[in-house]
Amino acid sequence: MLIDGERILAVGPVAEVRATADAASRSGSGGDTRSVTTLDARQCLILPGFVNPHWHEGLARRAQALGMPLSDHADPVSPFARGGDIHALSQNFDALYSWHEKMTPQESEAFARYALWAQLRSGTTTVGDVGSVAWPEALVGAARTVGLRAALSVWASDALCLPGETAFTRTRDADAVLARIEEQLLACGADGTGRIRGMPSAVYTANLSDELAEGIVALALRHDTPVATHLGALPNESGVVREYFGRTPVRRFAELGLLTDRLIAVHCAYADLEEWAMLRGARVHISHSPAKYGLSGESTISGSRMIVESWRAGQRVSLSTDGEAQQIGGMPEAMRQAWLGHNEIWADNTAVRPSDALLMATRFAADGLRWSDQIGSLEPGKLADLVLIDTDDWRYTLCARPLEIFLKVGGSADVDTVIVGGEVLVRGGRPTRFEEEQVTADFVTAAYALAKRQGWPVDRPSGARTHA
């Protein structure tokens, strides 16, 4: 592969790439040959950088869990589990709108830097934010420091569904939420690196008024961005939303102008047949996060066959990590679970092949973010975003398909090198732009400071990594 500046110039057999390099050097278009850097990627898998269109910055919430017991035996049932407690979720989600006020902008940036570093470290070169609890400007600053591509958002909610009632409760002025989203869009638009974009999002179908939904559509059109929300995520969602908002989520979105090919519908697995046809007809992008569902007790893969049916019908489907307070799997783990999980449900080893999982984690995901003209595949003319996986060890001996082995017995920790726009950001698993120890120490310090101010317990199981 030959990279000139931030773009791929040639990909192919060494002789062909060398010929392109020589021609570029002669014509002067390849730049100064004295500044050529060569990375030896023999014994490496060379993959397009992973594109993660559904992520949240919420690492500050890990401070709340510092006193978590070592034993998991007394863990409660999650509100996402057993079909979903939509009333509890809508209250939790609405409370997150003002969560950033618990921390200083500096602490928020420390959390966001560590969260984005964890993504980059696991091979993600582009994230799509479906609502973060960070201070918006802190998130932009952190993305700039870490250097990966990001379509950033704010946590948007102006309503909730209280138990025992029949209509939603408005929690804040839709215009105030829209103003904050637009402020973030303008900050992203003003970024000169070319790596940061804005993406208006709504957190959940049970958390937005008609006014907020229509305003978000207007912002997406005005700024020419995708728009994202969690939709059709849980079996109990449709009934509650119909009761509190008058229509089921998909029909409501159709009426409000949200059901278009700009929409990234996250987890979208539960819809009736008519809604399913509406989603397909509108060319809505579906992104699912299979490595996350077991953690929260969601049945997104097994509960309906809609995601693979959609994939088979040619609908655009991608993979993503989602986000939570604790460390979450990276894109390699999402690929593994998509490959093995869907095939198990379908009793069919061809339902989602390893190469299909890779497509869902790269080109199709870039398509959802409306960025596939620039990223998502390794082709001449595209931006040089790539990941090198070292395959020179026992696992790959006499193996014809290294991608399969990487997904089966490898994972995020095996990412060796990450390149974004021709710039090497990770080499040998270590960041090149900043000191990893400093970013870790800032995160740990911010977590303890936040926990102390909030009065949260800070006991940790012995042996856990609490200090840098």
Residues that bind Zn ion (CB under 5 A): 322
* Sign, CA torsion 26/28/30/33: positive
User: Min. distance of Cβ 251 from Zn ion in angstroms?
Assistant: 22
CA atoms of 188 and 169, how far apart (whole Å): 31
CA atoms of 256 and 215, how far apart (whole Å): 10
Smaller CB distance to Zn ion: residue 94 or 322?
322
> Which tokens is 229 given?
């929300």
Nearest residue to 366 (alpha-carbon basis) of 287, 309, 312: 287
Q: Each residue of 137-150: b (16+ CB within 10 Å) or e?
A: ebbbbbbbbbbbbb
User: Min. distance of Cβ 106 from Zn ion in angstroms?
Assistant: 26
Looking at residue 98, the DSSP 8-state letter turns out to be G
Smaller CB distance to Zn ion: residue 317 or 388?
317
Cβ neighbors of 467 (< 8 A, separation 6 or more) are 441, 444
Rounded to the nearest 5°, which phi and psi values hold at 321? -95, -25
User: Min. distance of Cβ 130 from Zn ion in angstroms?
Assistant: 5
Smaller CB distance to Zn ion: residue 234 or 418?
234
User: Min. distance of Cβ 267 from Zn ion in angstroms?
Assistant: 7
CA atoms of 404 and 408, how far apart (whole Å): 6
Is-contact 135 100, C-beta < 8 A? yes
Smaller CB distance to Zn ion: residue 301 or 425?
301
Q: Tell me the C-alpha to C-alpha distance, in Å, between residue 201 and each of 20, 231, 275.
A: 43, 12, 21
Smaller CB distance to Zn ion: residue 48 or 53?
53
Closest-approach residue to Zn ion (CB): 322
Smaller CB distance to Zn ion: residue 326 or 432?
326
User: Min. distance of Cβ 190 from Zn ion in angstroms?
Assistant: 27
User: Min. distance of Cβ 465 from Zn ion in angstroms?
Assistant: 26
Residue 298, SS3 per DSSP: coil
Smaller CB distance to Zn ion: residue 133 or 375?
133
Smaller CB distance to Zn ion: residue 4 or 322?
322
Cβ neighbors of 272 (< 8 A, separation 6 or more) are 238, 248
User: Min. distance of Cβ 131 from Zn ion in angstroms?
Assistant: 7
Looking at residue 205, the DSSP 8-state letter turns out to be G
User: Min. distance of Cβ 156 from Zn ion in angstroms?
Assistant: 13
How many Å from the N-terminal Cα to the C-terminal Cα in the chain? 37
Smaller CB distance to Zn ion: residue 296 or 343?
296
User: Min. distance of Cβ 320 from Zn ion in angstroms?
Assistant: 8
